[in-house]
Chain A
Amino acid sequence: MLRLALRWMLVMGLAAGTALVACGVEPEEAPPPDGGPMNTTADAGPADGGLDGGTPAVPTNPLVFAVTIVPDPARLGRNVLSVIIRGTNGVPVPNANLSVGVFMPAMGHGSSETPVVTVNGAGEYTVEHVTFTMQGTWRVTLTATAGDLSGTTVLNYGVN
């Protein structure tokens, strides 16, 4: 996963601290829930393998998400995500239909507010009102569609 992430960062010139997720990558462990470094998991699509062995899952039309959260680390209350969506060829995907879900698995509830997505153009999106109502681990799911391109990614944030 680290090799893949570094390769993409070199290609796309992403800033340090940006989470990079592509569909088809094997899910990772959830992070320590005490404000530690953000970790990411991705929807593997077909459940028949990943980077660590087996046949790699290759979605038909995957999307690559680069996500940063402000503030970092995430905090109680409102947070803002900056999202860059590109195809696997590195071309930005403008005007994607991006939806965001916020869920706290341990408590079985969502957020008090609905995230608001703003399309900024050139494949860049801002998601406001990413609201964490209590301390613990939160799961944020981003789903994007643009024509025949689609992708979903799941990020875990520890809030202290």
Chain B
Amino acid sequence: MSARAGLAGLFALAWLAATPAHAGACCLSSSAFGIGRLALWEQFAIIVGTSASPVAGRWDERRAWHDGSTDYAETEWRAQLSALVALHERVQVYGRAPFVFTQKVAGELSESGGGLGDSQVGVRLEPLAQGQVPYVPEVSISLGATLPSGRTVAGARTPLASDVTGRGAWVLLAALTFEVAQDDWFAQLAGGLTYPLAMAGVEPGTTQQFGTGLQASLAGGYELRKGLVASLVARVAWEDNVKVDGVSLPKTAAFDFGGGPNLAWELSDHLTLQAGADFNIFRGGFGANRQGRTTVNLGCRYAYF
């Protein structure tokens, strides 16, 4: 696998791993994994992407799966603008701004709405580059934060809150990633931590804090032909109980499994197209307190060097 193709595959993974919508915008946990990285020769990159994510059902607090009912439908569309800038060959900063649009139908109620979602900023450090030490994978560390730039349920203007685009919490993010590329294939193992800060509670005078989250993903890719890389990713995300005034609310922890195929196509030295899908496992036991969705993604990455 050429160095460029391997990076193209990893770029696709990074973008797609950050976008699966396993919950509505009101309740979506932050992704700890950032938006990927720049190649050694790249000075900055801009990524534009879009996704569509219909709801298939949900898991309740007992991990029981409920198929979507015939009189309820929800789909989220998301357009995302991301940028990466190299400060040093081992240090990159990134930012991401999502725009969320949701349509909901419940019985005779039908509504839609959207706006700017919760944004992210962060820095990626690469203490160990690919090939720097023989037989040792590349190691990178991402540190970032989610900004509550979206509209929360409290600011919703419709009964079903379809114009909600964010969760309302500052979240600290950290991730550790190991990557290796060899011949025609590459592999990536990533683990992340999310720590939401306390915020004003729903009831006046109270404080609330979403649970600490742990995320992990495992991916592998293969160069089908020059410049075309296919990959598969499996991911899991877990979040601890919600707390109100420091007291943990029982049975509010959440988790879900998911994954799917991705494709990255290098159109030129500067331009890469990305596409993929993410699926939850729509059975009991594979989630809790989360909606189950299928997410389809398309993206385009332009890098300058």
Contact = CB atoms under 8 A, between A and B. Distances in A.
B60 A33 contact: yes
A135 B72 contact: yes
Nearest to B24: A134
A108 B208 contact: yes
B230 to A, nearest CB: 35
B152 interface: yes
Contacts of A48: none
B160 A112 contact: yes
Contacts of B160: 76-77, 112, 133-134
A17 B289 CA distance: 28
B153 A33 contact: no
Given A30-B251, A77-B159, A107 B107 contact: no
Contact of B242 (A77, A78, A105, A136): A105
**SS class of chain A's interface: helix, strand, loop or mixed?**
loop
A112 B251 CA distance: 23
Contacts of A41: none
Contacts of A61: none
Interface in A103-120: 103, 105-113
A160 B69 contact: yes
Given A106-B252, A106-B289, A133-B161, A77 B106 contact: yes
B210 interface: yes
A21 to B, nearest CB: 19
A90 B302 CA distance: 73
B158 A112 contact: yes
A107 B66 contact: no
B202 A109 contact: yes
B109 interface: yes
B107 A75 contact: yes
Contacts of B210: 108
B262 to A, nearest CB: 29
A103 B204 CA distance: 12
Contact of B60 (A105, A131, A137): A137
Contacts of A111: 153
A135 B66 contact: yes
Contacts of A131: 159
Contacts of B18: none
A112 B159 contact: yes
A106 B251 CA distance: 7
B153 A133 contact: yes
A33 B251 CA distance: 12
Contact of B27 (A77, A101, A109): A109
Nearest to A141: B203
Contacts of B249: 105
Nearest to A75: B107
A72 interface: no
A111 B251 CA distance: 20
Interface in A62-101: 75-78, 101
Contact of A34 (B66, B158, B208): B66
A133 B289 contact: no
B58 interface: yes
Interface string A6-48: 0000000000000000000000001011100000000000000
A108 B289 contact: no
Interface in B193-207: 202-203
Contacts of A160: 66, 69
Given A75-B106, A76-B107, A106-B251, 9 more contacts: A32-B60, A76-B160, A77-B107, A105-B251, A107-B26, A107-B27, A108-B202, A112-B159, A134-B160
Which 6 pairs, one residue from A and one from B, show the smallest C-beta to C-beta distance? A112-B156, A110-B202, A76-B106, A133-B161, A112-B161, A109-B153
Interface of B: 24, 26-27, 58, 60-62, 64, 66, 69, 72, 106-107, 109, 152-154, 156-161, 164, 167-168, 202-203, 208, 210, 242, 249, 251-252, 254, 289
